């Protein structure tokens, strides 16, 4: 165990004991070993440490003074548009002798989106990008690259225009950061670029907007910071979706900066039949309070991809599976049941939306136009609403309806309309399932 104290720039003192697994952790690469201290706020620090043995005896304390500096070298511009009619204009000058390409990063600091457009010295549009208004996946970070124009050397001045993405909006907060392309990952990293992340509720009504934040801007090893609140001792779900599995996340206590969760060693899940995205999820009870969520990169790559992050209830994704109903000899007037089973792509909970039956033949000769279905978490049988109608709708997207499970063991039945050989058929199960890696995988 190591105990330490440090004096922050605002003269506040923090005194704590450090154990393996906290923000200040123990690392051993096989040849060297020791404790690593992460400082979250740049400034001048005084640092002291000492060792204690199993008898409670302390070594002499050793102290240092040092400065913590930001990684990147870049300029920032911050502003707020009071309404959708206001347009902010800024000029930025870059040196193409110092770098062959520059980047303008964009960060949404409010709840409404904005558009950034860049013009060259001749007044011609170079490029534009936008941060989203509230939507199903709200992009709050993005960037515009500015490679050196043909024939240009030395200083070059761009005009940058910022305006609201949509009409009727107010208090549109934004932050721009620009520097060499090599600084791209550092433009919005760290504590001072923290964004508040509201609570996410499982979306059943697809017209409803929930706070899932996405970023198409490269996160660094320091990471993108989000602040979130927990109202009780409930189990909170954190869900991250990434394009290429280049990111992980951790959760810190907002007051002590102690690491509560770190997914660095966790394996993300990808279902090849349902798109290219990777999913990573943790379910953990958290005490009432405020926490910091950090999304950070775990590998260097030219194609970092996009990530989205949500904290609160589980996220769900639509899917469809087909289940085979086996043949059977039947007698007219008798009722026959089949016990069937289905699992979601990742083995997590799945919720019925629609059951679609492919009848055994034209006119449903054996079934007589009707069939029944019993979900795995119910003792109630549901029948198709009218003759020859293939669907039973459970309407997961309607929050006023009860939720029935699609995964697990369920039953199919019909009363034979004639005696003969039922040739079998299929059920198409349309459902929403909770995304994330299988529960059996380490978190």
Which CATH number covers residue 119?
Answer: 2.60.120.380
CA angle 12, 13, 14 (to 5 degrees): 125
Kindly state whether residue 345 falls inside one of the protein's structural domains.
yes
Kindly state whether residue 134 falls inside one of the protein's structural domains.
yes
Q: Could you tell me if 77 and 184 lie in one domain?
A: yes
Query: What does pLDDT average to over the chain?
Result: 87
Per DSSP, 216 falls in state -
Q: Could you tell me if 11 and 94 lie in one domain?
A: no
Give residue-wise pLDDT tens across range 79-122: 999 999 999 999 999 999 999 999 999 999 998 999 999 999 99
Q: Could you tell me if 348 and 398 lie in one domain?
A: yes
The beta-carbon contacts of 125-130 under 8 Å, at least 24 apart in sequence, are 126/158, 130/106, 130/165
**Residue 437 burial (CB < 10 Å; 0-12/13-18/19+)?**
buried
Q: Could you tell me if 85 and 184 lie in one domain?
A: yes
Could you give phi then psi for residue 71, rounded to 5 degrees? -70, -40
CA distance 251 to 171: 29
Kindly state whether residue 64 falls inside one of the protein's structural domains.
yes
Kindly state whether residue 266 falls inside one of the protein's structural domains.
no
| Domain final residue pick, 40, 68, 96 | 68
Could you give phi then psi for residue 175, rounded to 5 degrees? -140, 130
Q: Could you tell me if 322 and 375 lie in one domain?
A: yes
Kindly state whether residue 249 falls inside one of the protein's structural domains.
no
Q: What local confidence, expressed as pLDDT, does residue 152 receive?
A: 94
**Residue 198 burial (CB < 10 Å; 0-12/13-18/19+)?**
middle
CA atoms within 13 Å, Cβ hemisphere of 101: 9
Give residue-wise pLDDT tens across range 373-386: 999 999 999 999 99
Q: Could you tell me if 64 and 97 lie in one domain?
A: no
Kindly state whether residue 248 falls inside one of the protein's structural domains.
no
Q: How many domains does the chain have?
A: 3
Kindly state whether residue 275 falls inside one of the protein's structural domains.
no
Judge whether residue 7 has pLDDT over 50: no
Give residue-wise pLDDT tens across range 387-434: 999 999 999 999 999 999 999 999 999 999 999 999 999 999 999 999
| Nearest CA-CA partner of 358 in 332, 395, 405, 324 | 324
Beta bridge partners of 6: 14, 47
Q: Could you tell me if 25 and 78 lie in one domain?
A: no
CA distance 215 to 107: 9
pLDDT top residue among 10 and 217: 217
Task: Pull the structure tokens for residue 203.
Answer: 């979306």
User: Which residue has tokens 């199919």?
Assistant: 412
Judge whether residue 35 has pLDDT over 90: no
Would you say 335 and 422 are in contact if contact means Cβ atoms under 8 Å apart? no
| Domain final residue pick, 169, 188, 207 | 188
Domain, as residue range, for 26: 2-68
**Helices and strands (H and E) in the chain: how many:** 0, 33
> From residue 423, how far is each of 29, 263, 356 by CA, in Å?
63, 50, 17
Question: Which segments of 202-305 does DSSP mark as H helices, in order?
Answer: none
Give pTM, 2 decimals: 0.80
Q: Could you tell me if 9 and 80 lie in one domain?
A: no
CA angle 191, 197, 200 (to 5 degrees): 155
Q: Poorest-confidence range of 42-56, 329-343, 371-385, 411-425?
A: 42-56
pLDDT top residue among 47 and 79: 79
Give residue-wise pLDDT tens across range 284-318: 999 999 999 999 999 887 777 889 999 999 999 99
Q: Could you tell me if 15 and 76 lie in one domain?
A: no
| Domain final residue pick, 188, 207, 225 | 188
Bridging pattern class, strands 170-180 and 125-131: unpaired
Going through 314-365 in order, the beta strands assigned E by DSSP cover 316-325, 328-330, 335-342, 350-358
Q: How many residues does the chain have?
A: 443
Q: Could you tell me if 83 and 117 lie in one domain?
A: yes
Kindly state whether residue 259 falls inside one of the protein's structural domains.
no
Would you say 168 and 81 are in contact if contact means Cβ atoms under 8 Å apart? no
Q: Could you tell me if 64 and 140 lie in one domain?
A: no
Q: Could you tell me if 136 and 177 lie in one domain?
A: yes
Q: What is the CATH number of the domain that holds 352?
A: 2.60.120
Q: What local confidence, expressed as pLDDT, does residue 63 receive?
A: 81
Task: Pull the structure tokens for residue 441.
Answer: 């995988």
> From residue 210, how far is each of 106, 132, 213, 249 by CA, in Å?
22, 13, 9, 20
Bridging pattern class, strands 224-230 and 195-196: parallel
């Amino acid at each position: 165990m190591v105990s330490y104290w440090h004096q922050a720039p605002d003269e506040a003192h923090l005194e704590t004991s450090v154990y393996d697994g906290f923000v200040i952790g123990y690392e051993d690469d096989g040849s060297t070993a020791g404790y690593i201290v992460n400082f979250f706020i740049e400034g001048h620090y005084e640092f002291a440490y000492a060792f204690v043995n199993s008898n409670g005896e302390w070594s002499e304390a050793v102290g240092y003074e040092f400065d913590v500096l930001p990684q990147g070298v870049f300029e920032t511009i911050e502003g707020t548009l009071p309404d959708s009619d206001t347009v902010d204009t800024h000029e930025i000058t870059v040196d193409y002798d110092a770098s062959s390409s520059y980047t303008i990063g964009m960060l949404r600091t409010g709840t409404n989106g904005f558009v950034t457009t860049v013009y060259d010295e001749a007044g011609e549009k170079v490029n534009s990008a936008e941060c989203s208004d509230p939507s199903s996946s709200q992009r709050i970070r993005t960037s515009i690259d500015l490679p050196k124009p043909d024939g240009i050397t030395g200083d070059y001045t761009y005009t940058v225009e910022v305006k609201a993405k949509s009409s009727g909006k107010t208090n549109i907060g934004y932050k721009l950061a620009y520097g060499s392309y090599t600084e791209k990952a550092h433009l919005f990293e760290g504590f001072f670029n923290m964004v508040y992340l509201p609570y996410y509720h499982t979306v059943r009504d697809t017209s409803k907007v929930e706070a899932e934040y996405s970023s198409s801007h490269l996160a660094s090893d320091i990471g993108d910071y989000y602040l979130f609140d927990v109202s009780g001792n409930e189990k909170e779900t954190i869900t991250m979706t990434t394009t290429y599995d280049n990111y992980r996340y951790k959760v810190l206590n907002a007051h002590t900066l102690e690491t509560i969760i770190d997914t660095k060693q966790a394996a993300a899940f990808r279902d090849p039949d349902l798109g290219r995205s990777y999913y990573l999820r943790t379910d953990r009870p958290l005490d009432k309070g405020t926490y910091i969520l950090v999304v950070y990169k775990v590998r260097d790559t030219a194609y970092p991809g996009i990530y989205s992050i949500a904290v609160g209830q589980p996220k769900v994704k639509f899917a469809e599976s087909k289940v085979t109903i086996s043949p059977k000899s039947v007698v007219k007037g008798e009722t026959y049941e089949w016990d069937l089973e289905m699992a979601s792509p990742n083995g997590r909970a799945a919720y019925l939306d629609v059951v679609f039956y492919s009848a055994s033949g034209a006119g449903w000769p054996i079934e007589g136009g009707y069939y029944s279905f019993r979900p795995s978490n119910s003792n109630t049988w549901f029948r198709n609403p009218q003759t020859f109608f293939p669907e039973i709708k459970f309407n997961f997207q309607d929050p006023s309806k009860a939720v029935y499970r699609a995964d697990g063991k369920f039953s199919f039945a019909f009363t034979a309309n004639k005696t003969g050989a039922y040739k079998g058929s299929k059920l198409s199960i349309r459902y929403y399932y909770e995304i994330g890696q299988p529960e059996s995988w380490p978190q």
